[in-house]
């Protein structure tokens, strides 16, 4: 008997804890028949001319996951009581992939970096219960990849068999929002490429499609930019803590093959103190103290935004950096500009006076130049909300605005007709709640306390209190990890599985039930660990094996 699971309202999941797809498909019907994979199970394509190599690689990875996950069902006996029905179950011998469209076949990597409005990620997955071939159809190779991701989550292991108890499956799925991201700051503390690749893998397993790379900041400048190599030579922590053009090319390709677009950020004009190590002429109030009067974090230092040479330097820097990335988007930041830094800088004051303008006036001119430079090389600017709400910069309507100070600020952005990416600190900041990191402040809290649990982000409604027209301006959202207190040692544990919660919100849509989501999120954590990503436990295993038994009023 088939049962329908509406978008993000996975009622079935409270009944069948071993059913654990994440993010929840937008339309799904399932049954109650056992099905196992045959020993010779294979994934093939039909009707696809010149199958892209990254699709072939994705098929191979899917087969390897099915063979190696060895994940037992999260029930008390870990599935042992199902041994009889699994042993006699019919066997699925193949999954066949096909494209509905007949046009030119693009690779996953090509599809992943298209502008947001052009990405096609939907798919239809049918797994019969009688052992006949399963089918996966989509209008793009990217859609096929998303379907493969779902297919790989269906199966559990018992006595050497990969099996499910919920056949048949009929899934028609596509994302509610085109942008589903994760941001990593690699400037406060450095992360090797291997750690970032592991994170990209994990992102792809929950259909996150954008890596927002906050690659440089005041503390260090690890990105090696062609024509500006002195910035990293003097601004990185050391020669080993850098990302070369070859590293970036490798990482961008790795991400794209997993359906992920890499959007780099070079924050301007604030958060640029590291540039003073090689170009002090471009930085106001470098290393000024006490730092708290000149910056939100040490060390102090901001670009001399009113200086024509600095504007040209910054434009050229951004264009060169942008050439390393395939994305249609590039972030120029624009947050936490400190007014006192410019007030105390004699050169900036003289230049403002000579031009007859204010800091905000100079900022507007600065932004026009750097964003124009990026547009000239085909990039759309991404900014933090202050550029629009605190400084009234005249932004092009194509600009994507990240709202981070408060989710309440979304209304003011969409009222001006700009597209919004939800990144609010009250919902999506992963670093909150770890205590203050500033020295000589032993009783200090993190500024964005409390700790943001997965439940907080999972319950978030990206469309709340917006009109229909305004809702169309919400392109998605992301979790963010600022790394004052994070590094390779705790990357996995601080990100996963919390970041998976926003992946479902922005794929499946708002309105998910946190109670029925918890067993599935347990499953994701366990599956991640089987694949080498050290996601934390959300409850004692006793609870994970007994869905609902540890509820507050159980």
Active-site choice (110, 230, 336, 484): 336
**3-state class of 147 per DSSP?**
helix
Q: Are 523 and 224 in contact (CB under 8 A)?
A: no
**Conformational region of residue 321, where left means phi above 0, alpha means psi within -120 to 50, and beta covers everything else:** alpha
Q: Output the six-digit token pair for 104.
A: 């030119």
Residue 406: C-alpha distances to residues 68, 403, 428 (Å)? 42, 7, 10
Which of 121, 127, 119, 120 minimizes the C-alpha distance to 96?
127
d(CA 210, CA 253): 13
Q: Are 29 and 3 in contact (CB under 8 A)?
A: yes
**Conformational region of residue 131, where left means phi above 0, alpha means psi within -120 to 50, and beta covers everything else:** left
Q: Are 462 and 506 in contact (CB under 8 A)?
A: yes
Neighbouring CB atoms inside 10 A of 39's CB total: 10
Instruction: Label residue 440 exposed, middle or buried (CB < 10 Å: 0-12, 13-18, 19+).
Output: exposed
Residue 340: C-alpha distances to residues 209, 231, 266, 288, 300 (Å)? 39, 25, 22, 11, 11
Q: Are 527 and 65 in contact (CB under 8 A)?
A: no
Instruction: Decide if 111 is catalytic.
Output: no
**402: cis peptide before it, omega within 30°?**
no
d(CA 79, CA 487): 37
Helices (H), 236-358: 245-256, 308-322, 339-343, 346-355
Indicate the helix (H) or strand (E) that contains 39: strand 27-45
Which of 280, 271, 287 minimizes the C-alpha distance to 218?
271
d(CA 434, CA 455): 18
d(CA 127, CA 133): 7
Residue 444: C-alpha distances to residues 295, 433, 482 (Å)? 18, 11, 18
Q: What positions carry a catalytic annotation?
A: 336
């Amino acid at each position: 008997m088939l049962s329908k699971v509406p978008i993000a309202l996975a009622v079935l999941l409270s009944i069948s804890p071993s059913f654990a797809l994440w993010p929840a498909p937008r339309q799904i019907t399932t049954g109650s028949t056992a099905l196992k994979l045959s020993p010779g199970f294979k994934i093939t394509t039909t009707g696809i001319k010149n199958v892209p190599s990254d699709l072939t690689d994705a098929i191979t990875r899917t087969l390897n996951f099915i063979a190696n996950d060895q994940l037992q069902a999260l029930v008390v006996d870990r599935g042992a009581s199902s041994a009889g029905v699994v042993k006699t179950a019919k066997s699925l011998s193949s999954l066949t992939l096909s494209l509905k469209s007949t046009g030119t076949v693009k690779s996953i990597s090509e599809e992943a970096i298209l502008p947001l409005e052009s990405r096609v990620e939907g798919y239809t997955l049918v797994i019969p219960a009688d052992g006949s071939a399963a089918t996966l159809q989509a209008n793009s190779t990217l859609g096929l990849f998303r379907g493969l991701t779902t297919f790989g989550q269906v199966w559990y292991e018992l006595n050497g068999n990969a099996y499910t108890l919920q056949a048949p499956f009929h899934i028609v799925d596509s994302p509610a929002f085109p942008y589903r991201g994760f941001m990593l700051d690699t400037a406060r503390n450095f992360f090797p490429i291997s750690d970032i690749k592991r994170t990209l893998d994990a992102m792809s397993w929950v259909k996150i499609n954008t890596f927002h790379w906050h690659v440089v900041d005041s503390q260090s400048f690890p990105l090696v930019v062609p024509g500006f190599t002195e910035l990293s030579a003097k601004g990185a922590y050391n020669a080993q803590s850098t990302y070369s053009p070859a590293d970036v090319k490798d990482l961008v390709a790795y991400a794209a093959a997993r359906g992920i677009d890499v959007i780099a950020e070079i924050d301007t004009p604030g958060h640029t103190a590291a540039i003073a190590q090689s170009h002090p002429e471009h930085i106001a109030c470098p290393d000024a103290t006490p730092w708290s009067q000149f910056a939100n974090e040490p060390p102090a230092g901001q670009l001399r935004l009113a200086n024509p040479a600095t504007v040209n330097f910054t434009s050229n820097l951004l264009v060169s950096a942008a050439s390393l990335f395939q994305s249609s988007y590039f972030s120029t930041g624009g947050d936490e500009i400190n007014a006192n830094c410019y007030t105390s800088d004699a050169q900036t004051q003289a230049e403002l006076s000579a031009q007859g303008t204010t800091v905000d006036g100079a900022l507007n001119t600065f932004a026009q130049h750097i964003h124009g430079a990026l547009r000239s090389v085909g990039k759309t600017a991404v900014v933090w909300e202050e550029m629009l709400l605190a400084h009234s910069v005249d932004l092009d309507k194509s600009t994507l605005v990240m709202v981070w100070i408060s989710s309440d600020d979304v209304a003011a952005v969409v009222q001006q007709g700009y597209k919004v990416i939800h990144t609010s600190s009250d919902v999506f900041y992963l670093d909150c709640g770890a205590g203050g990191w500033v020295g000589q402040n032993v009783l200090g809290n993190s500024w964005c306390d409390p700790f943001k649990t997965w439940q907080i982000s999972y319950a978030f409604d990206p469309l709340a209190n917006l009109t229909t027209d305004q809702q169309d301006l919400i392109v998605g959202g992301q979790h963010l990890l600022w790394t004052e207190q994070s590094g390779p040692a705790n990357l996995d544990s601080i990100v996963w599985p919390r970041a998976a919660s926003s992946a479902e919100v922005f794929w499946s849509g708002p309105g998910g039930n946190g109670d029925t989501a918890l067993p599935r999120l347990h499953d994701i954590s366990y599956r991640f660990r089987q694949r080498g990503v050290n996601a934390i436990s959300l409850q004692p295993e006793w609870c994970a094996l007994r869905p609902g038994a540890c509820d507050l009023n159980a």
